[in-house]
Amino acid sequence: MMSCTLLNPKKRLFLCLLVSLAFFLVVDTSSQQHLEAKKKLMREKVRQMFYHAYDNYMTYAFPHDELKPLTKSFTDSLSELGNLKLEHLPTDYNGSAVTLVESLSSLAILGNSSEFEKGVRWLSDNLKFDIDARVNLFECNIRVLGGLISAHLLAIDPTNRLIQGSYNNQLLRLAEDLGKRFLPAFETPTGLPYAWINLKNGVMENETTETSTSGCGSLILEMGALSRLTGDPRFESAALRALRQLWRMRSSLDLLGTTLDVVTGEWLEYSSSIGAGVDSFYEYLLKAYILFGKEDYWQMFSSAYLASQKYFRHGPWYHEANMWSGKPTYWQLTSLQAFWPGLQVLAGDIAAANSTHREFFYVWEKFGILPERYLLDHQMIHPTMKYYPLRPELAESTFYLYQATKDPWYLDVGEAMVKSLNLYTKVPGGFASVRDVTTMQLEDHQHSFFLAETCKYLYLLFDDSFVAKRNYIFTTEGHPIQVVSSWHEKLPKSYSGNWTLSKELANLQRGAWESGASALSLQVCPSIALNSRRPEQHRESACHVPDEKINHRCRSNKE
């Protein structure tokens, strides 16, 4: 074979370029093959995790609520959900098979049509809601109503072929029955629903009037979908009235407190955050906009999101703040906040999502898993909140960020999480919650959301074939609902699928995103529109504190 050195310079250069190109193509192909092999391996590991949890539940706990994996027994003591009635069982039985309801959409995503159909048949024959039981409206909505609606939509989708026999909308009828039992909770002077409702008798005498922002502001996806499926507008109307009333109660800073009184409409807890008590309120505003197309939802979300960036954000972290003054109240990270980067991906704020996600993963690596509460000002775990109940939020955000960026680093994050879960929480009887992340002492509880969300998002991270078929939004409990144009009163102006970049955020940072940069990398706080064509257009700063410099430059962490 002729050497490159024997050719004339032009031919030598051309031949060497061809050889180099071929080398890089081989390397790239090899890397891609390695990546696909890794994804396949991790997908199977997550599949094994799901079935280890699911099979043990079915063996030792079904049809009760949840599994106690250490003692291989069951619990019906879900204080949030109360107890639901099942026919053809002993009269003293009080279980609700919540884990089965929660698992149906995961079974569909894993492609197990036989187990999915088996679960549908069992619930159709046994689950009834005519029982004298006090349930938490929010939890019952996201777990049971959402699970039934999602499973119904999956069952009637001919592309999934999950039901081989006949299906006559049994799950939808169950969902409609449950939704009707929710409606008395909304009969308040404000339209804000009670936190608790008796499924048979409605609101109990002397029922507490205290609820949370997320508790009354995160019902619109499930109840809106129920109205679209049944043609009964009462469900969506009740949830929307509550949401709008809640928004009218915001402060002049566009912040909302954590708890309130549904009768008087007065705030009880003024501390505002993106964490517990408020978290899914933000989530449902954006997802309702995607699912139903109402501009109202986007207007509320964009205002609330910018306020959160201005008053909560401190670098990559988010502290709590007083809803009236915007001043910090509690400097703490809570594990529920880990959903936030995933929501930012849906809003198109990828740089901010990546920054916060990396900090959460840093805490995960530091302790092996994510503690429930971490004190930012003291860089230590909250002394009484050291537990980890198998929460899904970090896995959820990891999935969204990989979908948006295809950066293989997020696969490494998922792999580390799978390794930690198997190392610290897997036991012969399932997966146990962690009572103390500093000692890895376990607690005898496998929450239903481990099957509904944690395993689901980890599986989708490594195998996204399910979401590649359709546009879906996932409820706060991880139940997929397909985005269809027929549910839109009109298509949103900026809507083009799951990864829509809204016009409001696009205008806010247009120049940065057009160049592939971010406000952070440009060291500019977007107090003015980053658009050279309209430099005179001023916008409120999205930074967490007022800008120190008139030109809005941020050249240090302090600024």
Residue 30 CA: distances (Å) to CA of 24, 41, 296, 415: 10, 16, 48, 20
Other C-beta atoms closer than 10 Å to the C-beta of 92 total 5
Instruction: Return the amino acid letter for 349.
Output: D
Which candidate, 380, 387, 501, places its Cα nearest to that of 439? 387
Q: Which residues contact residue 125 at a Cβ distance below 8 angstroms, ignoring those fewer than 6 apart? A: 87, 88
28 is catalytic: no
Token pair 């592309």 is found at 159
Residue 321 CB neighbours (<10 A):
25
β-partners of residue 524 are 553
Q: Is the preceding omega at residue 9 within 30 degrees of 0, hence cis?
A: no
Single out the catalytic residue among 236, 393, 396, 504. Answer: 393
Q: Is 236 a catalytic residue?
A: no
Residue ranges in 384-539 assigned as alpha helix (H): 393-405, 409-420, 449, 455-462, 465-469, 503-508, 510-514
How far is 424 from 199, CA to CA, in rounded Å?
A: 38
- Catalytic pick from 66, 222, 236, 279? 279
Is 393 one of the annotated active-site residues of the chain? yes
Catalytic residue among 65, 102, 115, 139: 139
Map tokens 């799901």 to a residue: 50
Residue type at position 7: L
Residue of 65, 254, 372, 443 with catalytic role: 372
The radius of gyration of the chain's CA atoms, rounded to the nearest angstrom, is: 25
Does the active-site annotation cover 453? no
CA 490 from centroid of its chain's CA atoms: 25
Those residues with Cβ within 8 angstroms of residue 110's Cβ, 6 or more apart along the chain or in another chain: 47, 50, 459
What DSSP state is assigned to residue 538?
A: B
- SS3 for 326-382 is CCECCCEEEHHHHHHHHHHHHHCCHHHHHHHHHHHHHHHHHHCCCCCEEECCCCEEC
Q: Is the dihedral of CA 426, 428, 429, 435 positive or negative?
A: negative
Cβ-contact 174, 127 below 8 angstroms? yes
Distances (CA, A) of 296 to 247, 268, 302: 11, 26, 10
Residue 432, exposed/middle/buried by CB under 10 A (0-12, 13-18, 19+)?
buried
Residue of 99, 108, 67, 78 lying closest to 456 (CA atoms): 108
- Which active-site residues does the annotation give? 139, 279, 372, 393
